[in-house]
Structure 1
Amino acid sequence: MEIRPARPEDVPVILELIHDLAIYEKEPHAVKNTVEALEKNLFGEHPAIFAHVAVEQGTVQGFALWFLNYSTWESVHGIYLEDLYVRPETRGKGAGKALLRTLAAIAVERGYARVEWCVLNWNEPSIRFYDSLGAVPQDEWTTYRLTGEALESFGGTAAAASESEQPA
């Protein structure tokens, strides 16, 4: 199993795996991403997301998509793992562990404070896997998300307020 940074030619299979992940997470129609958008976000002029792939016998079998976060307390970046997915037929061969180990190595090499991610509460196989690595759930924090109509309503109010504060 080879772990390497994603290349532009990997984008279609990464998107395929994103769709597979959405099906696994019981959200098969939630993916709005496209090959063009993902390629631009990963390889455009100012990429803010990064990906590594697990390749076995020339075929991408899994991926880790991540971006940098920042700790204001420690004054250093960290890695936020947005998605980690390995094809079901490849699970148990070490691809997921190798992908996470690669991100951990990047964090250590660059002096980052942490690698963190979220996992669905019902996803027991992944939770057991993460526990086996020594990862610790952050149960004192609750993730919040502002999206859809609530985001538009709240963000639109702020945009309108900031526009009205502009000098004429």
Structure 2
Amino acid sequence: MWDKTKLKSVKNLYKEEVLQIPAIFKNKDDYVAFLMAQSYQESGWNEESVSKTGCKGFAQFELSTWKFVWKKLLKHEEIPSIWDIKAQIIAQHTYMKYLINAVSKKETMLPRQEILAYSLMAYNGGLGVVEWCLEYHGVVSVIALRDYRNSHKSTYPDENKIFEILNYPISIFNIWRSLREIAV
């Protein structure tokens, strides 16, 4: 399944750009594998990828989230090109740390896997959506996501997006497990 040359190249990029890891991870290699799994799910490690919803690049950022990460979280005056792979890795890493911290603070007693799953759901569906579901339902589920949509008199998330949000962590966890089993 894995192109060893591409795998090694991507892993080296992550190891170069990821300097601090969230406390929830055992070590840097574990966190790097997690981020690699996520970007593989997002773009197949294609830095020129554009989704049908307009997300761009290696880690698939919406332009508004890209600006938020660089201006608010990283406090940069100038925003790098969304097509810069190193900037994508830095932004993905920074945004995931932000989401992990936000979910951890919202629900302090969650086990590690749930914190990671909800953080991934927030990356895919929006932190506000996940926080609302946790606050009003204690869980992110089909019912909670439908309730969010109805209570906000919105069309978001539609039925397809609901299942995409819920399945997103499962896909990434499977890729993550596969990456951890490979020595590169």
TM-score (norm 1): 0.26
Larger strand percent: 1
Larger helix percent: 2
TM-score (norm 2): 0.24
